[in-house]
Structure 1
Amino acid sequence: MTLQPENDGGLEPPTKRRRLSIDPTGTSRDRVDPSVSNMTMLTPEQKKEFEVGIQAYVEPHAKPFEGILKQRYSDFLVNEILPNGQVVHLRSTRAPRLKQSRVNNDSATPTQPQVDENDTNQASEPADVPPQQTGNGGNAEQKVQELPDVAEDDRTKLVENLNENAVADLLKLYQSIRGNPSKKAHEHPVVRTEFTTDRSIRSQIHQRIREVFNSTIESSTDHDGVLVLKAANSNSRGKQQGNSWNRPQNKNQRPGKLGWLDRGGEYLHFTVYKENKDTMEVISWLTRNLKCNAKNFQFAGTKDRRAVTTQRCSAYRIEAERLEAQNRTLRGSKVGDFEYHQQGLELGDLSGNEFVITLRDCKHSGEGNAGLDLHAFKQSLLQGMRSLRGNGYINYYGQQRFGTFSTRTDVIGRHILQENYQAACDAILSFQQDALDAAQQQDSTTQIGQDDKNRALAIHTWRKDHTLNAALDILPRKFSAEAQLMRHLTKQPSDYLGALMTIQRNLRLMYVHAHQSYIWNMAATNRMKVLGSEVAKGDLVLVSEHKEKDNSSNGADDNGAMAVDADGEQIIEPAGHDRAAQEDDVFERARALTEEEVNSGKYSIFDIVLPQPGYDILYPDNESGEFYKTFMSTPEGGELDPYSMRRKHREFSLSGSYRKVLARIGEDFDVEVHSYAKDDEQFVKTDVDLMHGARRGDEANEAEGNAAERGPDEKSEGDKVAAVLKFQLGASQYATMALRQLSRGGIAQYKPDFSGGR
């Protein structure tokens, strides 16, 4: 992989390190000095990127081109990828029809669910059952033999990751726990077995063991990389075991009604399909209609709003039939593929996302699309996609990370880290004057969205006379942070920290995470500018990924599942006080490379990580590390000390984390190109389209149907060109940043007439 050299005032760059181009215009192959005077050369979108540190490119291997992103929300399809590699698609919206077997009134054994044979949309049910309650008769050995085994498919998956002997010992441990619930944890056997060094697979195995054995077995990894399996302590087991297995889950449960264990668990996992909506919009709608708390719902990560997305969610003690019924009134959303489990989803329980993106009105930069050869254009795109796989792209945090309003989320986070909580509240409650003017004048011709106008009017109303009810009547429900601040500050006008703490936890953490992300973006640009694609002494690599290359003794425990926020980033806490997944849940560790390791050739630029600032991380021991001290001392960097990131309020104490400098798309990708005439012509089918076998009414027309069935390079009447790109990215990687590299900054996001004002 090569990187473009920059023009540094006629000075010859070092021969061993090629530098990266910092190109504000997105078109020139020479570096343009990123000064204020040159900012006038940028488009508004490029200027926003430049302001949050998105300034550099890996050298492109294809001709730059232009295109329009998200002209229709169905041009951006996102399907979540589960930890096991399965891509989530909506298959069915029907709840599983379960029948209850007859119960012997004298038996304490719980009833077992039976799937209705007439139901063609049945969900798979775990075969594991709760421990049987026996009388005083019989010995322990006899009780162990009577215990059921785990489901065969669960056992098969465990054997794939461990081995036959280890799984056999694990099952004996499980039977010992279930057959002898009164024993203390240390009285049960301990299983030790070799373990993979792949951290992502380790996390999946830890999660699988928790799910299969109902959290009765604790899994951890010792300093030698050996997997240690032992009984959970009695308090932890008591939450899942004990008498709760056989007593009704609530006092109003009717005799003969299936209990949660009979269904498969207290957590209902389901697929959420949504169009042009935020994840929290759908969840909030469900909680209002089901009359339950939002805390009952969990998901692995948020998804784009202007898109069609499919993801898994979980709900605590909510029947599938109740959720299925919501499909009758849900707008732009569907729920389905219901399965009961014994544990809910956690943020970060995904391995990435699959994207199918349609780019419209494509043309080579500086050229019209008249006479554009579709075959040649497709080959150029394929070359660029191969470069995204082989050479990668800078793993920037995209603009989504920094919000869509006039005050960026990283600015709010900067105020919080400076412990200026009043400024943080004022920033959240800021709005554009144009939005307020349009709302007060009831101007329906403006390009400012109605929600944005109502938001501005609500905040203005509250600030003017502190009439809370009047303001909340105007404020759209989706602006929950603003509503919470106004409620609290109406009661306690000077308690700004208290007001911030009323905001949903994941959201308020994202503010400070956003400032970390801003610093990371700036550091990534600097690192690639100074050191290029060469691995340098003092660069950081993750300890958990390179133990086989590391001959030193400064190892660290495996990490298992990490707590993350709604964007997939690690929760910044000094300790996992909420609910640690297992004993070896610790922060990710990194170490600096020596000169000998650099010269060994064992490490590439794809191994190098940069830290997000925190008190529990290591900074690079080279020019890249010096940048943190220099930049963070400036007003833009927050005038912060990178080595002093603890705060009086524990939640805002930044422990820090690490992120790969470069990312790359998955090895399986695809490119199609189409010519078209009508802007509403659709080239891909959504999950609902595929499930119904036809397009929905508002998109169905004969011409569009014909376009969907054409081959990728067949021409239809029309001189416009669309490209359909399909690829996969890991968690917390941004498709917009991959597209930026692919097009050399030529892709512009479509701005609907009603979406201005942000």
Structure 2
Amino acid sequence: MLRSFSYVTDHTGFCGTIKNSASDFVVTEIEVPEHLLRDTRAESLQKTSEAQLEPSSLCLQQPKKQRTEPPSPCAEGCHGGAPSPSERDPSCAGGDCSASPNKKQPEGEPELRSGLEEASMLDSLLGKPMSELLNKFACDLKDAWDLENNADAATREFSLGPILDKKDRADLHSAVRQKFPFLVTVTKDNEMIVKGNADYRELCQLVTEKETSDFFKFLDAKIENSTFSFAPDGNKEHRKVVHHFINRKFGRLLETKSFTVTDVNDQPNMSIMVRFREKSWSRKRSAGGFQEKQDLYTDFSYTGIKDKKAITYQPMVVKKVTPERLKEIGSKMEKKGMRIHNIHSACQHLRLGQLKGNHFDIVVRDLKHHSHDSSADLKERISEAMENVETKGFVNYYGPQRFGQGQNVQTDQIGLALLNEKMVKAVKLFFTPEDTDDPVNNAKRYFLQTEDAKGTLVMLPEFKVREKMLLRALNRYGVNHEGCTKGWLNIPHSMRIFYIHAYCSKIWNEAASYRLKIYGSKVVEGDLVFSEENDESVSLNDKVHVVTAPEESANKYSIKQVVLPMVGHSIKYPSNKVGQWYHERLSKDELQMCKFRVSPLQLNIPGCYRPILKNVQNLSYFLEGSEKGIEIEDNHLNAPKVSLHVSFDLDPSCYATVCLREIMKCDF
């Protein structure tokens, strides 16, 4: 996919082979320290559908009515906090858990973390523009609530449009309520409507808004055996009003009781504790309430997808599995090629993109000169290459593994067919076999020859989950446009949009190569540069600036500040030859009128921006013979047993194979 593409460096490079074995390519994820997660910003401009940690305001304002009593230490942090391992409920290992009522959480941390995650979910499900409109509606509604005699505040509604997929609707219901506890969502003929939560507003008149927000998040999370406590309240009549409110509104789900606590002055006081009734778990939610109970499930979450042929180290969170259980099955996992280390409880899951980057330890074998290089000094060639890339960086291409390296049909081709809404063609491309004789490819050949979905299902091994999900729908609805559309809808949203993203990545790679060929490393008028503005109220497009002629003359920007758009419906293009190239390239693929919304598949592609160049950090290397003690002398590396060991760090969404391509000046 990268042959004939541009380089940013001008050294000669060298040849070699990588991934001779898994141990030659070791990837270690660089984690974001847990105490910094609440301040995480997206380090790159790349925004995927699965994850972008971009915080936004929760629009929570100061309550109009405050308690006369000072809050206890637990009032600000007892909900959603992280207790010590001995206090955690083992059933919540790896998932969400609730703190002990008397434990304090660092102020603000739960809300900020939730805001990061739910903003990411809303952007993914709705697209950035619609997500921003929802945020504006929420803020305007809160402002209206604070105005006296505002009659229309109770009737205001906002439509999120039709959401056909049931799972997407459930995810959206949850994401909206978690980010905006003062809103409720209802569905009318697949159209999702958002409006103010009258119960939330009423409770705000009784307790602080912080407590109200935390209470409704507790209510929506519905974690079995969890409890919620209001701040200590010495006024018996006021406590009675709060008890009556909860019993009147949520009595079928919740029960309350008062218990004695110690306040900030070490004096005894009373507080209201809320917990779920035992029989409430099997009931459905009411209009603003709970969904039907679902079976317990095991869910793995992680922050990044790693190379298939490599040894990789990364944190993972497993929901509904205790640390003890993981330790018990450790030996069984090791037989399958997976080792589990540092097992401990966690109180939040992981999301794609929630990492600082990756550290790579790579061995390049079979070192030799390029065929056109007459130099005998290969060691000098290696040194020159390392210094050059360390100084100038590398072109930030998407790596070949994003497109299905070596396959007869690559993922971007399927993505293009989906964007053109050619559903049958996309299915046929999906089932195009490789040139090998094995059960999977034999099953694919059989399907293309017969369109017998049921027979193909029998032939496919169980691990081909994606193929089987699609075939089940094809068996039911037929291999026609409607049937294939329903087939694609039968696989998860993240898998459907993966193919679209592959096509967008291919276009970005071609655009980056074109940009460097015609303008080189000079920043020219019409280029797009990114502002490092940290104001969350500024939209992504407003952070992208179009370079002017005076700025070009003054050399105001460097090439490392230049970004190119990933195609979508909410991005702007460069106003120079590169912008024209984008339009011509999309027209070539019959996408000149594409809105980058595939409504039949509920796919929404807003687009984003990606830097043309990236830096490599902490680069180091050494040469080694296959036997210990062998030294490389006289700068000659003719022996095939000499290998290059190279280590470096890369930001998220950067590819080590692309960095090595720049270093070695060869494609893999």
TM-score of the aligned structures, taking structure 1 as reference length: 0.54
Q: What is the SS of the residue equivalent to 2:414?
A: helix
1:491–1:60 distance in 2 versus 1, CA, 3 Å: same
Structure 1 Cα separation of the partners of residues 308 and 332 of structure 2: 20
Residues 135-174 of structure 1 show CA distances to partners (whole Å, capped at 9, x for unaligned) of xxxxxxxxxxxxx43369x99x99xxxxxxxxxxxxxxxx
Q: How does 1:91-106 map to 2 (within 5 A)?
A: none
Report matched runs for 1:36-435 at 5 Å. Answer: 48-50=1-3, 55-61=5-11, 63-84=12-33, 129-132=99-102, 148-150=103-105, 231=210, 233=213, 234-239=215-220, 245-246=226-227, 293=297, 296-330=299-333, 331-366=336-371, 377=379, 380-404=381-405, 405-432=407-434, 434-435=435-436
Please give the per-residue CA displacement for 1:479-510, whole angstroms capped at 9, x wherever unaligned. 32222222211111131111011223222211
CA contact (8 A) 2:13 2:385 kept: no
Are residues 368 and 361 of structure 1, via their aligned partners in 2, closer, same or farther at CA, if it must alter by over 3 Å?
farther
Give 5+ residue unaligned stretches, structure 1: 1-47, 87-109, 117-122, 133-147, 159-184, 187-213, 219-229, 248-290, 439-452, 548-554, 560-585, 678-706, 749-758
Deviation of 1:333 (Å):
0.8
Distance 1:526 1:216, change over 3 A: closer
Cα shift readout 1:300-322 (whole Å, capped 9, x = no counterpart): 12111110001111122211122
Instruction: Look up the match of 1:618.
Output: 572
Call closer, same or farther: CA 1:713–1:127 in 2, change over 3 Å.
farther
Q: Cα gap change, 1:411/1:468 in structure 2, threshold over 3 Å: closer, same or farther? A: closer
Alignment of 1:448-467 (within 5 A): 453-463=438-448
How far apart, CA to CA, are the structure 2 residues paired with 1:321 and 1:469? Answer: 41
Q: Give CA-to-partner distance per residue, 1:624-660, whole Å, 9 cap, x none.
A: 11101111111xxx21127733333363332111111
1:244–1:712 Cα change, 3 Å: farther
- Distance in 1 (CA, whole Å) between partners of 2:559 and 2:34 is 25
Which residue identity does 1:343 align to in structure 2?
A: Q
Q: Distance in 2 between matches of 1:150 and 1:522?
A: 49
How far 1:714 moved relative to its partner? 8.4
CA deviation after TM superposition for structure 1 residue 128, in Å:
9.1
Q: How many pairs does the alignment contain?
A: 459
For residue 328 of structure 1, what is the amino acid of its counterpart? S
Of 707, 723, 727, the match for 2:644: 723
* 2:342 partner SS: strand
Report the CA distance shift for 1:527/1:497 in structure 2 as closer, same or farther (over 3 A).
same
- 1: CA distance, partners of 2:614 / 2:83: 47
Give yes or no for contact 2:623–2:644 (8 Å, CA) kept in 1: yes
Instruction: Give the 5 Å matches for 1:577-588.
Output: none
Mapped contact 1:57–1:741 kept (Cα < 8 A): yes
Q: Partner of 2:26: helix, strand, or coil?
A: strand
Q: Deviations over 1:147-202 (max 9, x none)?
A: x43369x99x99xxxxxxxxxxxxxxxxxxxxxxxxxx99xxxxxxxxxxxxxxxx
- Superposed, which structure 2 residues align to 1:642-681 within 5 Å? 644-649=595-600, 651-666=602-617, 668-676=618-626
Q: Does the aligned pair in 1 maintain the 2:359–2:650 contact within 8 Å?
A: yes
For residue 735 of structure 1, the aligned residue among 633, 656, 664 is: 656
Alignment match, 2:206: none
Q: Which residue of 2 aligns with 1:35?
A: none
Query: Partners of 2:296 and 2:384 in 1: how far apart?
Result: 51
Q: For residue 591 of structure 2, what is the aligned residue in structure 1? A: 640
| Alpha-carbon offset, residue 427 of structure 1 | 0.5
Residue by residue, what CA displacement relative to the aligned partner does 1:64-111 show, whole Å, maximum 9, x if unpaired?
21101111111000011112499xxxxxxxxxxxxxxxxxxxxxxx99
Letter of the 1:305 partner, please give it: K
Relative to structure 1, the CA distance from residue 624 to residue 239 in structure 2 (aligned partners, 3 Å threshold; closer, same or farther) is same
The whole-number CA distance in structure 1 between the counterparts of 2:630 and 2:307 is 29
Equivalent of 1:504 in 492, 513, 521? 492
Check 1:653–1:467 CA distance in 2 against 1; reply closer, same or farther (3 A cut).
closer
SS at match of 1:727: strand
CA RMSD of aligned residues (A): 4.4
For residues 731 and 429 of structure 1, the distance between their equivalents in structure 2, rounded to whole angstroms, comes to 31
Mark the CA change 1:595 to 1:355 in structure 2 (over 3 Å): closer, same or farther.
same
Identity of aligned residues (%): 27
Deviation for aligned residue 1:124: 13
Structure 1 residue matching 2:661: 3-state secondary structure: helix
